[in-house]
Structure 1
Amino acid sequence: METYDTLLSSITSAEGPTRTILNPATGEPVGEAPVHTVEHLNQAIEGAAATQPAWAALGHKGRSEALLKAADAIERSAEELAQLLSREQGKPLNGPNARFEVGACATWLRVAATTVLEPETVVDDGQTRAELHYKPIGLVGAIGPWNWPMLITVWQIGPALRMGNAVVVKPSEYTPLSVLALISVINQELPDGLLTVISGGREVGARLSEHPAISKIMFTGSTATGKAIIKSSAGTVKRLTLELGGNDAGIILPDADPKAIAQDLFWGAFINTGQTCAALKRLYVHDDIYDAVCEELTAVAAAMPMGNGLDENNVLGPLQNKAQFDIVDRLVTSAKESGARVLLGGNPDYDQPGNFYPTTLVADIDNDNPLVAEEQFGPALPIIRYSSLDEAVEKANGLDVGLGASVWSPNLDAAREVAARIDAGTVWINSHGMVNPLIPFGGSKQSGYGLEFGVEGLKALGLPQVING
């Protein structure tokens, strides 16, 4: 196990230019991130190409054993990784935040290592026998975001490595240290050159997307960037898994108990201080219980402490960067100017250090208000009143994104009927955003395509081959 200082120095002592990473809670320096170039990327790809065949030759058993050891390595350095993650990303140590994220990295890696994927017999009628197998793709490029930098990196690299591929990772420019540290720990148990991090700018990401040696891109981030990757990857016909922007709707049916669901509603919306692609971002509540839901949710939200992530008492932190703070501030301001009713928050202290936006609930807001129609990606939730179920479903389906959604009711049959009418990759019932490493996850419409997690996630990182005869 490394100390925090040892871990940090191991990833910031590289020769060449660096960039200072600041703590979004305090503005103080966290460390110096290397600024890699396209030349560094080319070297990483050459090394990955040289290492990948031997890794593929290990077979599923050998690769799984190595990945299980890598999960153990994450757990040995869990507290040091969580401390760095909290400083760089801003999320608190406690709650469903930094320590939770690091622990989930080990869990997801273990599941990727141990999920069974057997050849599938598709026809065996005595005359014809056909089997479906999955072979390694070769080299995979993994481009990650700043909101869950460690965990989403593992979502990408775990199945890619398990299926026999080499991986080149390009982290967000906002959170490179977290990913560099995580990969450094994982690489204690992997062959040199198999898994590499290139901490560079947009030109590195663009080159990774078009590089002829890369056969698959895994990307989590904005829809706009996803579209750019689609275009740049087209020349080499790369396989893509894209988890893009969302604006998830939740529909509360009139028979729900506002007090009983308030805590789960809160975390569905405000996990990671709202900086989650599949967080609850629009809440539709029936007239009959609208006021009660507003009251109960406000009581829960008001009791959740926000502040520096290193304070063990906090469960909400700052927005990771000033650009995101400005987006949330603009959208809440537009809601206030429209006459919507602010139940809580909406009054940031612009003079305090850090990118803190207060937990904000906005009621009596029109469905076409920018706070509803645009993805806020922060701690502000609009609560929209509805009278008929058809109206709620129409509004929930009214945007061009469809990552997740949720339905809230004690009547599971009724909730499932409503869920089936919603255009989203995942619809949760009486929860929101609870992902599971064995349950496939992916979006619809402009929230992307391709599935992650479980058997389907492994298949997405392999080349299907039919052996017929």
Structure 2
Amino acid sequence: MTIDKIERELYIGGRWTPAQSGARVDVIDPSTGTVIGTVADGDAADIDRAVSAARTAFDDGPWPRMSGRERARVLNRVAELLRKNAQELAELESLDVGKPIGLCLPVDVMTTVEQYEYYAALAQTLDGSTRETPLKTFAYTRREPLGVVGAITPFNFPLILSNSKLAPALAAGNTIVHKPADDTPLTALRMAELLAEAGVPDGVVNVVTGSGAVAGDALLRHPGVDKIAFTGSTAVGRLAASAAAASLVPVTMELGGNAANIVFEDADVDKAVGAAIKGFVFNTGQFCMAGPRLLVARPLYDVFVGILADAVPTVPIGDPRDSKTVIGPMASDRHVRKVEEFVALAKADGGRVVCGGERLDLDGGFYYKPTVIADLPNESSVVQEEIFGPVLTVQPFDDEAEAIALANSTAYGLAAGIQTSNLARAHRVAARLEAGIVFVNDWAMLDPAVPFGGVKASGYGREYGPEALDAYTRTKSVIVSLD
């Protein structure tokens, strides 16, 4: 794959424009550690320009006043353009994130296509209802867009997680200021072009690249924003929620995760091993719904750890542009250093490194070998905290009650998993797990029709499904006197 050096600006009010300061920031290819281009480094002044453009588009433009059917036609054109440009988008995502190209097309790009197709359909269902009252009135409700949405998105799934906000927000008739992740801005900027080409009016979608500490903070605190949609770490999410609270704007937060994957004694071992490996190596472990904590029934524990020791090192790791690669580089060197610190801490806490446990020196990129660590105590911070890298801890349990207690023992509650052949057990345990989504006999089975989101320190609000539209609309009641 050959892509010329990339030079991109901010997208505000339907025009490409440099940051007012003139500042720029490098874009790094994680597979080589080399600079592949620059983007504008936006700040508070640029956020203010973008919010102003979005406000004008909302107050005076056609988008919020279109019928749901009219907006649906535009969103379906977005899906068509995504399909038409699928290979380019897959290559751009792979280059920017280090994601294996073999996953980018079927997972990242096609999921984004399905998001727009799904919300194009739901855009046509946003109607109110009449309400019967004993009063001499005609009462009805309206579902209306909120206004200007500030969307702040992470580095690990730029296409999917950005458009999981943009698609429902647009379907509902809102306008948007999008601040993509510092490390991975490229597909957000390309999406701005495709949205415009599909017929989204000027000012409806604005993209400001820049740091979270400057541009992101300015967006959170801007008085012209009517809604914040945030995906990121729990630590930053707490700061984001606090900042948005000053303006009393509604916030949805999809935050960190540290999911437990429970393997019961009656599980199909081959399938369970596949789900366990998929759960922690997918996207190099940089996945909020990853399964980095494996809980295995004690009679299976030693056998299961032995199988992982043999199987995990055979998963192809390397150049993300090679179609055979399953594990690519991490997004940046600082993420690799964080994983190194956790693995060192695991050893200090008595953990046994079954495989991996070190960097992979390859082409100057940010690679870390997939790592399995057994025998850690549950109180270890390596078990309790989110690592966000290709590291799996394995712990034994003796019975169902202990498995549930261990699974629920961290501060997080985004996802969980159950591997069992007992259907009654699957339903029973799923009901008791403190998680927004539970995978049974596989991992990461996601679709735009099925909502996901967190409990506890994993946030609040839901993405996907019709539930997402609730976060981008408000209900207005109209009561007409019949006297």
**2:257 equivalent among 234, 237, 246:** 246
Q: 85-94 or 73-82, which moves further after superposition? A: 73-82
Match of 1:47 among 43, 53, 60: 53
Distance 1:151 1:392 in 2: 32
Number of residue pairs matched by the alignment: 466
Per-residue deviation, 1:269: 2.0
**Residues 1:102 and 2:113 aligned together:** no
1:467 CA drift (Å): 3.6
Residue 338 of structure 1: how far off its partner (Å): 3.1
What whole-Å deviation, never above 9, does each CA across 1:384-422 have from its counterpart, x for those lacking one?
111122122111111111111111101111111011111
Looking at structure 2, the residues matched to 227 and 377 of structure 1 have their Cα atoms a distance apart, in angstroms, of 18
Match of 2:272 among 253, 261, 278: 261
Q: What is the TM-score with the length of structure 1 in the denominator?
A: 0.94
| Aligned counterparts, 1:14-29, within 5 A | 15=18, 16-29=22-35
Residue in structure 2 matched with residue 286 of structure 1 by the alignment? 297
CA contact (8 A) 2:8 2:38 kept: no
CA distance in 1, matches of 2:44, 2:9: 19
1:198 aligns with 2:208: yes
Paired residue type of 2:433: I
Residues 457 and 364 of structure 1: CA distance in aligned 2, closer, same or farther (over 3 Å): same
2:57 maps to amino acid: T
2:376 to 365, 387, 404: 365
Report if aligned partners of 2:86, 2:105 keep a CA contact under 8 Å in 1. Answer: no
Q: Does 1:313 align with 2:319?
A: no
Q: CA deviation at 1:375?
A: 0.7
CA contact (8 A) 1:112 1:158 kept: yes
What CA distance in whole angstroms lies between the structure 2 residues aligned with 1:228 and 1:134? 30
CA distance in 1, matches of 2:28, 2:299: 47
CA distance in 1, matches of 2:250, 2:289: 23
Q: How far 1:249 moved relative to its partner?
A: 0.9
TM-score, scaled to structure 2:
0.91
- Listed one character per residue, the Cα deviations across residues 260-307 of structure 1 (whole Å, up to 9, x for unaligned) are 322222112221011000111211101111123223334442221111
Cα shift readout 1:144-201 (whole Å, capped 9, x = no counterpart): 0000011100001100011000000001111112321222222212111110100122
- What is the one-letter code of the residue matched to 1:173? D
Deviations 1:415-452 (A, max 9, x none): 11011111111122112332211111111011111111
Task: Say whether the 8 Å CA contact 2:313–2:355 is kept in structure 1.
Answer: yes
Regions of 4+ moved over 6 Å: 125-129
Tell me the secondary structure at the aligned position of residue 53 of structure 2: helix
Partner in structure 2 of residue 171 of structure 1: 180
Give the Å deviation of 1:125: 6.9
| Distance in 1 of aligned mates of 2:75 and 2:179 | 20
Aligned match of 1:158 in 164, 167, 185?
167
Single out whichever of 431-440 and 350-359 deviates more from structure 2.
350-359
CA distance in 2, matches of 1:217, 1:313: 39
Question: Is the 2:273–2:308 contact (alpha carbons within 8 Å) kept by the matching residues of 1?
Answer: yes
Letter matched to residue 45 of structure 2: E
CA distance in 2, matches of 1:235, 1:338: 41
Contact 2:129 2:142 in 1 (8 A): no
Greater displacement, 128-137 / 199-208: 128-137
Q: Distance in 2 between matches of 1:283 and 1:270?
A: 13
Task: Note the residue ranges of structure 2 that are not aligned, 5 or more in a row.
Answer: 11-15
- 5 Å matches for 1:296-335? 296-335=307-346
SS state at 1:280 partner: coil
For 2:69, the equivalent position in structure 1 comes to: 61
Residue 407 of structure 1: SS of its match in structure 2? strand
**Of the candidates 390, 415, 422, which is equivalent to residue 404 of structure 1?**
415
**Residue identity in the other structure for 1:288:** P
Q: Contact (CA 8 Å) 1:280, 1:433: kept in 2 or not?
A: no
Following superposition, the deviation at residue 126 of structure 1 comes to 7.8
- Corresponding position of 2:430: 419
Are the counterparts in 2 of residues 48 and 194 from structure 1 also a CA contact under 8 Å? yes
Output the aligned Cα RMSD. 2.2
1:138 and 2:147 matched: yes
1:337 to 339, 345, 348: 348
Q: Which moved more, 1:341-350 or 1:355-364?
A: 341-350
3-state SS of the aligned residue for 2:244? Answer: helix
For 2:357, the equivalent position in structure 1 comes to 346
Would the alpha carbon gap of residues 6 and 106 (structure 1) be closer, same or farther in structure 2, given more than 3 Å must change? farther
Asked if structure 2 preserves the Cα contact closer than 8 Å seen for 1:258 and 1:292, the reply is no
> How far apart in 2 are the matches of 1:113 and 1:300?
42
Larger mean Cα displacement after TM superposition, 135-144 or 267-276? 267-276
Cα offset, 1:64, TM superposition: 0.9
Report if aligned partners of 1:402, 1:446 keep a CA contact under 8 Å in 2.
yes
**Residues 98-107 or 439-448, more deviating:** 98-107
CA distance change for structure 1 residues 255 and 77 in 2, over 3 Å: closer, same or farther? same
Which residue of structure 2 lines up, in the alignment, with residue 30 of structure 1? 36
Q: Deviations over 1:75-101 (max 9, x none)?
A: 222111111111111111013x45520
